[in-house]
Structure 1
Amino acid sequence: MATFDAVVLGAGPAGLGAGLALARAGARPLVVDPADEVGGLCVTRRRDGFAYDVGGHIPFVRDPARRAWLESLLGDELVWVGRPVSCVIDGAIRRGRYLDQRPGGGGDGRVWHGAAGEGTARGELAARFGGPFVDRVMRPYLEKVDGVPLERIPAERARRLLEDQAAPDGFVFPARGIGQLMDAMAGAAVAAGAEVRLGTRVTRIEVPDGALAAVALAGPRGEEVVEVRQAVVAMPAAAAARMLTPAPPGATTRGVRMRAVCIVYLALDRERLTDEPWIQVDHPAVPFARMFEPRNWSDALAPPGRTILGLECYCQAEAGDPVWSLGDTELGRLCAAALADPLGLLDDPAAARPVEVLRVARAYPMADAGQMAAVRAPAEWLADLNGVHLAPGAAVIEAVEGGERAAAAILAGIRGPEVPEDPATTLP
């Protein structure tokens, strides 16, 4: 039986970041995932001549080292998208997100630092931009996406959106979709000595006496118990906590409410609908909150003379939800109608041909301050276990960096404190 220095639970961007960092540093990781392809939600689908991501994913690159890391993986397939995210205000497309708008006009993406709020998104934003402006410009969109009042959204959520997920000038992107980056990371990890097993689920995490001893797997190779002393949890913490043996207290693994998303893909027989890669929409009569047009990210994602739109409709995976309860055909029809009225982007809704509707029932935990304790409980329990390292999900590069931090902690434990803190950013 092969021996491994660590098992990485999950092959999304966080798990691949951890696996690649460990392998490039000379360790031998095993990366497992129940899906049949790497990337988690960061995958690119191909259909009817189009390539489109499961939702829009922006790699927020903050420093030259990370840009060089991406170039080492993608080469000239890393393209620059020279337009920022935009939003619709008073019926017009305006540069910048709703969070990038500023009192007195302008949407340059600069962040103002004012007095601290009271721990809520409303308080955090009001301290920076003033309550009336926040309520008029920022509140409708944030509440549409997260599904709770701004007074219940944690301040940390607003800070991360403001400071970590802004692209005021544009962004880099894989020419053939975000899945291209995930495939490149997996390929580089395997080339460096990692093993990646897909279609393989974790059935048990053995932690006798509070220390990792083994991980039980089930997949194409049958059932297997891998004895290992280090693991990276790059999957939902609550799901991992439910696999612990011995089991933690019941409250630790209690489920939390999750936000769902229906992504409607509509094709048009024209070169493009807009020049914008991504548009945020706060209008309550529009089913979707975000619209992305892959052709405006890369010409390789759509055939000549045609374009496809991804329309993200946030909701709850419940029978009574006004979005989730709709059939695919009806939801697609409503989205196409909204492009015409009230948005005024399309003359004839019938020109938008439905391609598919993807439904993600558990996209992310609801950003509700009332359930933060339940969200944190499994992560805190896992973090206290010897040999277990967390790599929480986030935006693409944030998730990769979370995986790299987990890898650095493992390497420091194996080889001592002389291991650099950020080994994965070293180019091969």
Structure 2
Amino acid sequence: MVFATKRPLTKEISYPTIDGVRDYECILSPILGISSSVEAVICTARDITERKQVEESLRESEANYRHLFEYANDSIFIIDLSTSRILDANQNAARRLGYTRKELLKLRTRDIDVPIPEDRQKIINQKMQATGSIIFEHSLRRKDGTEIQVEISSRIIEYCDQLVSLSFVRDVSARMQAEERMRLLESAVENTQDGILITEAKHIDAPGPELLYVNQAFTRITGYDLAEVLGRTPRLLQGPKTDRSQLDKIRTALSKQQPVQVELLNYRKDGSEFWVELNIVPITNKSGQLTHWVALQREITERKQAEAALLESKQQVSKILESITDGFFTLDHEWRFTYFNQKAEQILQTSRTEFLGKSLWEVIPKADGSIFDRECHKAVEQQITVTFEAFYSPLEKWFELHAYPCSDGLSVVFNDITKFKQTQG
């Protein structure tokens, strides 16, 4: 070739030696005679084995870098700091934003950024310039216009003889949604009117499961704040009047890892009593193993006081009804006897157990179609008080009756007027 072209020729060759294969760069230089013909060729050889090894290492390094660049889970952008042009981006970045890579490399950052307040952008730029790196949360706009929540980690590097921003972008939409759900849950737990307790799932027997968390409502109800109860057991709320049978019910449910609902009389920090409706549920992990107990504590003191007052009132009313000289009974909307006083037993020569829970027609079949039947239906249908006289043949007696409609059905007061009727006859 040198003889034909009369020009120097450079060629790289590999040559085996006792130390292994060596690489050489050979330069063939022609020596021209008077007639410009090649009279001789000078060969200069230079060992370039080390240089070739370095070049091969660089090629491998670049291939590895490109592999990491292309197949990283994060989106990667290389951005010109002076023009905001996207100089390079991996396939993940293009796919995540809905572009082809060719389309993406024609864009600037403003084409994919969701605008942010100017003062926040200024803070990001200042920190980037001051430290050379920054991590911040941001939103990017996809090709279809939808937005994606991301975390961006940017660093200033030298790339192709210019300063650029190397940015790793991670989709954090799922994380932020989970954080928002957690925030809402925490807000709900803290602002509910019911006390919430969380305990570990250990020590069902003494001393009992340790408290890990209580909300503000628990503090308001009991007087104990979180710092005072951490590491202690909910049993600190129990006292002399706490129903042992309800506590046994709780223990049985906990031992079976089952939810349970009870009503308990508990004690506040100041020693005062209060009633709660307690719902306890087991919490398990992904493996199905019990990890915690969560209890919802609803104060029902006012309800219990009202129930006690109502019971006392009913007892007083019953005491009065049992002491009056007239017979008295009540019927529900199904015409079943719901109350029957002592005087009614005496007048009708029967036991209240023969009447209570049974219908009027079951106990007194002949009442059907009688004046008693008509007048009682009239009282209920017209919601008026009626007074009438009726003859009760099984006892051969006359009675005067007063029927009063009420929300629960019908109340009837009666007395024996047989002697009066006989004097009239």
Name the one with the larger strand percent.
2
Instruction: Flag the structure with larger Rg.
Output: 2
TM-score (norm 1): 0.18
TM-score (norm 2): 0.18
Higher relative contact order (CA 8 A, sep 6+): 1
